[in-house]
A and B are shown apart, each in its own frame.
Chain A
């Protein structure tokens, strides 16, 4: 419950908060028993891997030399002085900013189009959000079909109007990858905006009409300010996911040509595939630390209304 709960303050929610305080407190054993599976799972798959990951980041464990030797912060130094790391960090940042921007703008525009009734609305809503359900790796393969110079629909169309560019070549591959991300995840921002717009009270439309505000004015002066919390959360969620993009790029270019499309995730994956576990863990830890400042902001918004 993100945007809707922030836009409509239903008195019942306050009432429930009251009833939450009446919660019986003498159920000690039951709550531990019910939480036991979760706690065991968290210990095994979160606490242990985090400790293990930090530990291996501090050692020189490789495929060829599997006995870990303590190297302290050496791996971190190796990553931070690697030009490839900074190159992929810059590319990841650029990728994140561009796709998030387009996805917010397109998602908002599409949500505005859906804000009135029209024939076939239900079916079109289903059709528009379809890509969210498609595995990004499979989406990547579909893009290969779409963009292949010999059999692809898009190059075929461009050829017929006299443009012959290899779409996955060095000059065009980055916009193509960004386009793929925008195509797949605009439906996600749309869905958040659509849900939020539905909870905007109709009186606001009427009031705006009485004041003779035209539609663009209404959107800019009333809707967008109301939607700011949703815009923020949608932007954060998309940025966090775009920042760790791996599937589509690995399927389409494996980070190439050269290092052109190497995101941080692919950079780490390359180190891991080469068998340098210590360096890979250190790089992963650095990326996780980069993300850390964003986490509390997003988490507080997301968990609101759940507990």
Chain B
């Protein structure tokens, strides 16, 4: 009996730290050491508070303690400057759960900006990652990069200049990306091999491609889907692709608004999609050959609802564009489908207010613009009224951690 009481007391002590500590870190000499020490010594429940100013850092930072909040004085007031970074693959690496990151910026990290791996229930709020030289192939790959995590909230953030994706969520589930700005990246926002995501209210402009939802083969986590893309501004994604060509995003056509590839259950509605010269919404199968038997390369159950679309498809980065433009009267319709679907499943339904066209491809694995294409008007079904995906988005507990 006494033993049980002691055990219970110990448990209580572990789960509710007596008093959360605040670790203040100011910019200035020795910032690298002082900040990294604070991140190491922080205990669950603690806050690491970054002062105003520019922290000159020459190495990557990392956080491996659960339940820690790292917050600065604002995404323009507290800047972690990695211009002189010598090592590590990212500016800040988070590998612990229940972490909140808020109100600071990273500039010019040499690899990724903030990566969180296996970090469940993480909140990114009012963070800025900027490569200050504009779009360049030599910029780091991802701005915000949560991967292999359950529970991801990204809100009110801003990323520009990533040579791959500004905001990239991979191999995760329970995701919200909201009210954020992604500009001058190759891909603005990318949801990859992930489930149950909501991408809403974001401003995605000046990228090569706006919002990408897709699955890739041969990864530890596959089977992406159940994702909602709604009420975003997807405007003027006209920057030429500057990704190194080995990347999957190097294949993204300049001027792709929203792209859905090899996913099951994706709703695209309420978005304002303007000035995307290749396509407003593109729904395609994975274009390359693969040998992963567990991988489904086809889009399934994709619904394009009502969206406001204008000035798209006027300069498509697609073979035979002159003939296509002539055939469609000067610009391509808003929705592009490659024509591929898995036998027995419906690839795509489109609201009657939207028009579209199909490449009419006959088989997966030959690229999305091949000599075998038989372009024509899109003839697909109409979605049921009120089509809704359920269970998407970050857990409510993460909503509660956002501050006004």
Is the A/B pair a real complex?
A: no
- Chain B interface (Cβ within 8 Å of chain A)? none
- Chain A interface (Cβ within 8 Å of chain B)? none
